[in-house]
Structures are given as C-alpha cells and as structure tokens.
Chain A
C-alpha cells in the first residue's frame, strides 16, 4: 500500500515564499515500490488518495493535493490538509491495443503520467524515447497536474500552453470506487475501454466537461493521471536580438513575421521568404521608454545530435535571485528603483547575441530563482497588447515605481473553459520582480495591480489573469469580467461532476475569493443528464 508520512505542519509556504499560510496537516504520499507491474502501483496510489479523502471527510476537513508549490497565488493552498504528491511520478506507455478505434493518435505518442511528475522529469523520460513535449513554461519545475490546472504557458504562439497536449485525465472525485473517472473529449476519443479498466476508472467522454476540467484550479477532484500527446524530438534554435520598439510591437500586434522589416538572416531562405518562429518574447525595461527591446526568438528544427551544450548559457540568462535587501532598500527609496533595475538588467535579461540550440527541456531548463518573488501575468488580445503595455508602463511610472521588469509572451488560444489564454492568440504581459512591503511612500502590489485592471477596464481592454501568479483576486466582479458566460459554464460542469458535498470539499480560499466555488443545483437539461451518468445512476 502507498505510504503516507504525516507532518502536523502549522504553516505552509510556496516555492517563492509568498506565504506563510496556515496548515493543519501535511501528508506526504509515496508509492509502494514493491508493487509490480507499474499499473498496479499506479492504481494502489489512487486507492490511498481515496482513503485520505475518506479520512478528511470523516474529520469534517478538506484536502488539497499539490506538487511543486510553484504558484505565486494561493490557488494550491488549503488550510486543513494538503497532500504533497511529488513522489507520484509513474510513467506509462500506451499500447496500440489501448487506442480507441476513432483515435487520431499514434500509440507511440501517448503516455500516461502520474500527477506528481515534474515537467523536467517528463522531458528527460521522453528524451530517452526520442520524443518531446510540444510546449512548456519558461522553467521546468512544475508538476504536470499543477501546470495544467493553472495554465502554465511558454511563448509558443502556434502551439499553445502545456494543457493543449492533454488528451485524457484521470480524476479522483471522492472516496468510493465509482469516484475514479477517466475523461476525454467526445469528438476526439483517444483511449478505449480496456485502458479505462486498466486504471480502474469509468470513462466519461464529454467535450464541455473535459474543457472545464482541463484548467480546473484543483477543484474538479484530484487529478491523478494525465494522458499527454507528445511529438518526435526536435531542437530549438534560440536567438537573442535587440529590435527597435516600433518593429517589435508591430510583430507583437499580428505575429506576421513574413512582412516584418526585422529579419534574422540565418532564417531567411534563398527566395527571400522567412521561417516562422516557434516562440517570440519581448523583455521590457519600463523605466527607459527609449530603449529598444531585447527579444528572444526561437525556431523549431529537426533533431540532430552533436550540438554544443546550451545549459551553461541558459543558466546565465535565467532571472536570478535578488537579495532581500534590494527589496527593502527599494521600498524605502523608491526613487532608486529605475536605477536598480537598469543595473540588474544584464542579470534579468538574456545577453544579446547569445544564440544557442537545444531541446525544449534544455532551452527551458531549471530556474535558479528560489527566493522571494512576485509575478503577475495579464492575458490580452494581441490587437490590444501595445495599448495595454503603454498603460501598464505609464502606471508603473506614475503610481510606482515598483521593483519589476516587464515582458511579453504570445500563446495560441486554448479550448479550456477557464484558460487565461482564451484569445485566439493571447499576449501575456508580465511583470516579475522582488516583493516589497507597502508604506506611505510606496503603493502595495495589490493596489498597483488593481489600478492596472481599472485602467484596462476604462480603456475597454479585455483581459484575463494568470491563475498561478499574483493578482488582486478579490477585485470586484473579476471572474465575471474576465470570463463572462464561460464562468457559468465552468461552475455548471463542476456541479455536474461533483456532488455538492464534494464540490465544497474541493473548494479553497482561492476559489471562494474568485467567486468560483458556487454550485448550481438546477442544471440545464444536457448537464443534468451528464450529472446522472457521472453519478452512476444510468
């Protein structure tokens, strides 16, 4: 049987020290390493999680699973009991016999991963099979369940976020055997009933439910297994260039590289046509309006071994730990913030003309940052990104300055109901920096970000917010403003999936603050049928 180590924790903190937050009990789960075959070990872990759900229910407490505690928001936190799942890292191949007859996928490109495996571990596992994830975030420490639940993204504007690679989810929605569900999209089924039986789960195929559960903020039950669609191993060629502001923003507004005046000569064909990049990112110093943008442009290439190891250069260009004293100094003497940021620019931005090649797992390697940090990501339509950036920079200079730098990334839209990458191509305007204590001289991060949201609303700019980052989550009507009817859809599908008791069990402060913890007892007919089916009454 899987093993549980209990720590009466007292407090809990995330990776970036945005806490501490109160916690009653920390449960560290590990698989039973004596169990073979691996699928039995996988199923045994699911049973143990169900046992922990039962125990928590019996104690009238809630339980929330978490992995790398990477999120800067409190989305992963629950004050009663938290289940640390980093040891749940089973990896299973899918056999051709497990494919659904209508599956468009090859079995060799499908893998079942247990919830606690990290993006780095997945990349290394796939590399040995000459395969790769299609996208990842800027770093690799998140667990797969955490990454998809909060919508972790890179800047792959024709590919999308990590959750776009997910084709199946195993959910644990309660303590009973019938509470193990495997869900897929109905219009593109992937795995057959044999697969469902192998993981002791009932199969539910429903597009709306799958899309709602994809970015679930940890509240559609515990995600135990994730089926990912991967692709053949490839290389990424990364260029770092300085681009004049107007040109960089013109590209940002339409992502049309074919007509852009800026060109990377190595990526121009003999006939003058240009290769379309895989990734485009702008680094922006908000306190120097005349400065050109340091720009990271990445192209996808066939995998050829023997390239120089890119990791030493990648390591140099990752946003570094910034000492706490810098933050304290900045809070007391905010006039120095622009100077400090300019001085730290060479540390925070990649070095121009440091061009490297590597796999996805190498280019987006470990982050070394593990001190206090803040980050906020605002999702926008690319047609609004230049206007939104001007507003953001103006507020940073008039309300601030605040100790953060800006960047822009671009991600293909997601089908997930609550994906913050919900525009056809979403521009994510990000501010990252060192947290500070507000005082009479210095605005708080919360107030500053609220001012940004108010300014966007006044300018009629639609926006979303990265679920795993800092934001004024109690901003009035926030999720209605961001998602409109999609919010109702999401709550309805959650109500169809979970009983009212279990919906409350899987709610936390974050869900309540964002007004997403609601439950609909009178569902539309279509969802009522789905609810009945899930409940096992038909």
Chain B
C-alpha cells in the first residue's frame, strides 16, 4: 500500500493542464502521466475492495437453469442486496431480513468497497452500504 500512496503524491504535483492550452510536444508525456495516475488510483480502489463467500458445507443451492455466470454462481439462483441503510441516532446496527423458501442460506458473499468504508467513516457510522449476494438452500421435496 505504501508505494502506491507515494506514487499518488508524486502524480498529484503535476496536474494535467487543460487540453487546449498544452503544447503538442509535451502532450504525450503529460497524458501518459495522467493515465498512469488513473491506473494507480484504480489499482488503489481495487485493492480496497474485496469480497468473501461463506458457503454451507451441507445442502444444495436453489438452481436456476438460466443463470450462466463463470465461477461460483453458475446455474444458481442468485439474490443481490445493494443498498444504503440510514441509521437513526438510537440505532447502532443494521439488519436486513431476507427470505429463503427452504429456510436457509446456502452461501453469502459480503463485499467491502472503498466507497462504503468512506461513507461509514464520514457519516460516523450512520449510513451503511450493504453489498451482499446470497443463494438459498434448494427447496427440496
């Protein structure tokens, strides 16, 4: 994380001028530095976002023959929650109630993003971003 932060500081000392005012001879290096800066920032934000899947050892997920997605969720019925929950002064925790017909989750993926962390910090924990993907246990006969 350290080297990335240093790189951002160096880049920010050389702001890219307005395109109409720059000399063509210096345009390329400056554009390159801008692209590098954007890439660095993107890399930084990417590193700040991650997700974890918790999957049930037992049980089978509810299938969905129309859900084709490379990876864990392929052919599974997937539910997504992507919302921000505002909390009142007296509330100190956020809870969402989800309904699985067979009575249980098969997997839950919780995603942490940089923006969500910033939102939580700058609102003193009163606006919570929630990004969750879950699958339910199959509704068996």
Q: A residues bordering B, Cβ < 8 Å?
A: 7, 9, 13, 15, 17, 26, 28, 31, 33, 38, 41, 68-69, 84, 86-91, 114, 118, 120-121, 124, 309, 311, 321, 324, 368, 370-372
Contact = CB atoms under 8 A, between A and B. Distances in A.
A370 B72 contact: yes
Contacts of B138: 86, 89, 121
Contacts of A41: 141
Given A17-B70, A118-B60, A89 B65 contact: no
B74 interface: yes
Given A15-B74, A90-B141, A121-B138, 13 more contacts: A9-B66, A15-B75, A17-B68, A41-B141, A69-B65, A84-B63, A89-B138, A91-B141, A121-B140, A309-B57, A368-B72, A370-B70, A370-B75
Contacts of A38: 141
B101 to A, nearest CB: 10
Contacts of A89: 138, 140-141
Contacts of B141: 31, 33, 38, 41, 87-91, 114
A86 B66 CA distance: 13
B66 A121 contact: no
B67 to A, nearest CB: 11
A78 B59 CA distance: 30
A118 B141 CA distance: 13
A309 B58 CA distance: 12
A321 B63 contact: no
B65 A371 contact: no
A372 B71 CA distance: 9
Contacts of A124: 58-59
A321 B71 contact: yes
B74 A370 contact: yes
A518 to B, nearest CB: 31
B63 A86 contact: yes
Interface residues of B, number: 17
Nearest to A11: B68
Interface in B64-98: 65-66, 68, 70-72, 74-75
Closest 4 CB pairs of A and B: A370-B74, A84-B65, A86-B63, A90-B141
A84 B140 CA distance: 15
A129 to B, nearest CB: 15
Nearest to A16: B74
Contacts of B58: 124
Contacts of B59: 124
Interface string B10-29: 00000000000000000000
A387 B66 CA distance: 44
15 contacts: A13-B68, A17-B68, A31-B141, A41-B141, A68-B63, A69-B65, A69-B75, A84-B63, A87-B141, A89-B141, A118-B60, A309-B57, A370-B72, A371-B70, A372-B70
A121 B74 contact: no
A26 B68 CA distance: 14
A121 B71 contact: no
B138 to A, nearest CB: 8
Contacts of B140: 89, 121
A120 B60 contact: yes
A372 B74 CA distance: 11
Contact of A86 (B65, B68, B70, B74): B65
B51 to A, nearest CB: 15
Given A15-B75, A41-B141, A26 B57 contact: no
A109 to B, nearest CB: 22
B28 to A, nearest CB: 29
Contacts of A368: 72
Contacts of B72: 368, 370
Nearest to B70: A371
Contacts of B68: 13, 17
Given A89-B140, A118-B60, A311-B57, A371 B71 contact: yes
Contacts of A91: 141
A8 to B, nearest CB: 11
Contacts of A68: 63, 75
A26 B66 contact: yes
Nearest to A38: B141
A370 to B, nearest CB: 4
Max count, chain A CB within 10 A of own CB: residue among B58, B71, B72, B140 = B140
Max count, chain A CB within 10 A of own CB: residue among B65, B68, B139 = B65
A68 B57 CA distance: 19
Contacts of B60: 118, 120-121
Contacts of B74: 15, 370
A531 B57 CA distance: 47
